[in-house]
Chains A and B, each alone.
Chain A
């Protein structure tokens, strides 16, 4: 018989949000530690979805419904984890840069980051460079993630790097960039720390930065 944690992982991968929520509650009622439910149930499932997405075995809609299921399960766990003193792996702020209203890529990365156990401050879309930096300072974020879909807005990412330098936090925060028009060359050109080709890889990179 499949363990309840495996069931959580399995149903999360299928995007069955309601079932995941019920199973997380059931696991808590049965005495599983919240951290174990998070790691071996929710994050395990999301990790598999992320890998499949990288390999083109699942597509954006499947990732979104899986992330939604994870979020529902995490809602149940959050107060219990806090009570148990379990802390997030790290803290990241994310947003789509100023002038750009596209958010699906940013949301995908956000969900993947949460799927890796990171705490995420979502700044939304049309975010000025200074807001990224100010948030990183005020909320002690280790990583800033900038997204853009337009070639006309991607240059705001360079402003984020400059603003971080001006605020004196450049050595304390890693700046990640992504989105359709962005590539490694652009990342190097503006002096950002990391570019990844997809959302799952972005989450892996952010975790590595937070653990470093």
Chain B
């Protein structure tokens, strides 16, 4: 594995992470540029990956990544990883939505909703769907090139209601929620039931049985793991959440062994108790949302998550803030941090370990 000093020790720590054990410090995923190696900045956007894939080129982006991975050092629990996804809303594309990527932008989007009404949605997952095949090939090719030197991400799915939101538009999904709740349950069940087979196809394509699984949040697990989310829940009442969101998450949790919940937005906090009640969710990545203060300013919420027996996943703290923290339970905290040099990273690791000695 590129620039990982002791892979077995890292894997051991990840086992501890999922079991909520204390390893002598909080979990940290630290990266830094390798001394003396300069890598030219490459286009890492979804738009480039999609355009490449549409031209039948599944290797350029991976080769660019390899160059960067060879020049990146990993500390703590960090492992080199590659995201083969072609669109954040790719799950909707698996049901026929068209994806577009505008030149000069980072993200690819679903071009337009495929229907206005739920009754017009024909939800049949077909492995021969052209977009699905592109993502599958993207994952498979990356795994072949990886050859044990890095890990290919479990794709970011944006499944359950987020898929329906992309297929119909958020506004039309809101109407359906009020007008046709029974039909919504039916359609949602189709999407939720397909999660298992879709997850397993990518699990095989990404050689994940051998490598373990790694999510877009960089979390690693030797078993089946995924980041689960329902961004659409920020529109819904707690009762609607109980009826539609929670059963969807429970269904996805049946497929995987370990899970992190990407909890996005202040308006979704009305579902907090229901989400915390899901025993099989191991960790919460609280994302306050655009325009909100960083997670360090949500200490009460973070402590509430830990008091409820779940880890917190934090990506926006500085090294100084991590070293100064006295409030979070280190057994239930993971920080993602990028530093400017090997010296900085080694110094940080030393200080962190000393702090908890």
Contact = CB atoms under 8 A, between A and B. Distances in A.
A58 to B, nearest CB: 7
Contacts of B169: 104
Contacts of A15: 178
A46 B179 CA distance: 19
Contact of B237 (A58, A65, A104, A150): A58
A181 B293 CA distance: 10
A61 B174 contact: yes
Contact of A68 (B175, B236, B240): B175
B210 interface: no
Interface in B212-239: 235-237
A54 B270 CA distance: 14
Interface string A99-120: 0010110010000000000000
B102 to A, nearest CB: 9
B309 interface: no
Interface in B57-106: none
Contact of A59 (B179, B240, B290): B240
A207 to B, nearest CB: 24
A181 B178 contact: no
Interface residues of A, number: 23
Nearest to B270: A56
Interface in B235-266: 235-237, 240, 265
Interface in A40-85: 56, 58-62, 64-65, 68
Interface in A148-169: 149-151
B171 interface: yes
Nearest to A105: B170
B237 A64 contact: no
Interface in B165-220: 169-171, 174-175, 177-179
A61 B290 contact: no
Interface in A128-173: 149-151
Nearest to A183: B291
A181 B290 contact: yes
Contact of B291 (A58, A65, A101, A151): A151
B contact face: mostly helix, strand, loop, or mixed: helix
Contacts of A182: 291
Interface string B269-313: 010000000000000000001110000000000000000000000
A59 B171 contact: no
A180 interface: yes
A157 to B, nearest CB: 12
A150 B107 CA distance: 12
A37 to B, nearest CB: 24
B27 interface: no
Contact of B175 (A61, A179, A180, A181): A61
A60 B235 contact: yes
Given A104-B171, A107-B171, A61 B289 contact: no
B292 to A, nearest CB: 8
A56 B238 CA distance: 11
A181 B109 CA distance: 19
B291 A61 contact: no
A65 B240 CA distance: 15
A142 B86 CA distance: 43
Contacts of B171: 64, 103-104, 107
A180 B289 contact: yes
A183 B289 CA distance: 12
Given A104-B169, A104-B171, A179-B291, 4 more contacts: A59-B237, A61-B237, A64-B175, A107-B171
16 contacts: A15-B178, A56-B270, A58-B237, A59-B237, A60-B174, A65-B175, A65-B178, A68-B175, A101-B109, A104-B169, A104-B174, A104-B235, A149-B290, A151-B291, A181-B290, A183-B291
Give the 5 A-B CB pairs with smallest separation, nearest first. Answer: A181-B290, A181-B291, A61-B174, A60-B235, A59-B237
Interface of A: 15, 56, 58-62, 64-65, 68, 101, 103-104, 107, 149-151, 179-183, 186
